[in-house]
């Protein structure tokens, strides 16, 4: 049995999968905000619950909104800031009395979709999570690529490529730089850009509904968004040339992206034609937790 835990900023989700990937049990609890020790205890309690419910012991994989620094073995880059600098890996292994595997949540997402999801059987896969932030993960021929600095796939804090005059230098990002891809493509970034252009609606969903009702401002906001996504993904295609790009997170629910963005990216990719596929996730919001469980696939 494989246990996966997705440690999110507001929820911790746990899943138990059998050998073929069938879900045996699932539980979701609130994340203890700002409390490191309580976060450890919550994860241990979830593992105990899953093992009691299934009457089996399992391997444990954990997805976190950040990474374990290979240099220090401490958490870095986490937007759940109370985890930063903590020896989460060592503390959890001690508390659970076993080896565990920890990966960035976007890497877990791509592991899930490449293992038995929308990118199953693809050679090279880029997984993107676009919600309140923008993360990415790379999977090549049966293996995730973590990278020597544990940041492979972290494209969200590169600058938006091919900026127009009114996109440059761009808004300030929480990372300290200007014009990061995340400030344009995240859900809040999209809504902000739309409102700056005098648009109505407070969420991406509102804006899509307005566009479908014929609102021209909403439609042009979506067109700008799609062109930015095409440019941002074109740089990924130019580097790793993936077979499939899987979108996850809240913005992956905008179904028009799958049709519109691949029509735009050809202008930016250095190739005569682009046959890369852009697809929605098969496992939806469950991909993070399923991918954490699949960290023990090999």
CB of 155 to Zn ion, least distance (A): 11
Selected binder of Zn ion within 173, 229, 244, 292 (CB under 5 A): 173
Least distance to Zn ion from the beta carbon of 153, Å? 15
- Tell me the C-alpha distance between 100 and 53, whole Å: 20
74 neighbors 30 (Cβ within 8 angstroms)? no
Residue 257, SS3? helix
- Which region among 21-29, 86-94, 180-188, 255-263 touches Zn ion (by CB under 5 A)? 180-188
Phi and psi for 119 in degrees, rounded to 5?
-115, 20
Scanning the chain, the segments in alpha helix (DSSP H) are 36-54, 88-96, 105-116, 181-185, 187-196, 204-212, 216-240, 256-265, 287-294
Enumerate residues 140-159 that contact Zn ion by CB under 5 A.
Answer: 157
40-79: which residues touch Zn ion (CB under 5 A)?
none
Among 175, 196, 209, 239, binds Zn ion (CB under 5 A): 175
H/E segment holding residue 4:
strand 2-7
Question: Min. distance of Cβ 168 from Zn ion in angstroms?
Answer: 15
- Binding to Zn ion by CB under 5 A, coded x per residue (else -) over 99-138, reads ----------------------------------------
Handedness of CA 177, 178, 183, 184 (dihedral sign): negative
Residue number with CB closer to Zn ion (105 or 113): 105
180 lies in the binding site for Zn ion (CB under 5 A): yes
- C-beta closer to Zn ion: residue 90 or 175: 175
Give the nearer residue to Zn ion in terms of CB position, either 31 or 77: 77
**By CB neighbour count within 10 A (0-12 exposed, 13-18 middle, 19+ buried), where does 237 fall?**
buried
Tell me whether residue 127 or residue 156 sits nearer to Zn ion (CB atom): 156
List residues binding Zn ion (CB under 5 A): 157, 173, 175, 177, 180
């Amino acid at each position: 049995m494989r246990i996966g835990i997705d440690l999110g900023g507001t929820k911790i989700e746990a899943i138990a999968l059998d050998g073929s990937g069938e879900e045996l049990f699932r539980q979701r609890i609130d994340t203890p905000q700002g409390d490191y020790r309580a976060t450890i205890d919550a994860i241990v309690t979830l593992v105990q619950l899953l093992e009691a419910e299934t009457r089996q012991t399992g391997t444990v994989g954990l997805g976190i909104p950040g990474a374990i620094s290979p240099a220090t073995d401490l958490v870095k880059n986490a937007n759940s800031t109370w985890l930063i600098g903590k020896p989460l890996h060592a503390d959890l292994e001690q508390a659970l009395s076993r080896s565990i595997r920890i990966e960035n949540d976007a890497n877990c997402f791509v592991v899930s979709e490449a293992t038995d999801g929308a990118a199953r059987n693809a050679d090279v896969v880029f997984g993107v999570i676009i919600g309140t932030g923008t993360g990415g993960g790379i999977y090549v021929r049966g293996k995730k690529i973590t990278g020597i600095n544990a940041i492979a796939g972290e494209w969200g804090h590169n600058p938006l490529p091919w900026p127009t005059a009114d996109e440059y230098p761009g808004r300030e990002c929480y990372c300290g730089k200007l014009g990061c891809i995340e400030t344009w493509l995240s859900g809040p970034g999209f809504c902000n850009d739309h409102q700056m252009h005098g648009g109505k609606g407070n969420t991406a969903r509102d804006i899509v509904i307005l566009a479908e009702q014929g609102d021209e401002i909403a439609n042009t906001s979506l067109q700008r968004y799609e062109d930015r996504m095409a440019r941002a993904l074109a740089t990924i295609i130019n580097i790793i040339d993936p077979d499939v790009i899987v979108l996850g997170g809240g913005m992956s629910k905008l179904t028009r992206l799958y049709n519109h963005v691949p029509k735009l990216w050809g202008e930016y990719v250095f190739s005569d034609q682009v046959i890369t596929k852009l697809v929605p996730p098969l496992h939806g919001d469950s991909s993070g937790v399923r991918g954490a469980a699949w960290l023990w696939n090999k």
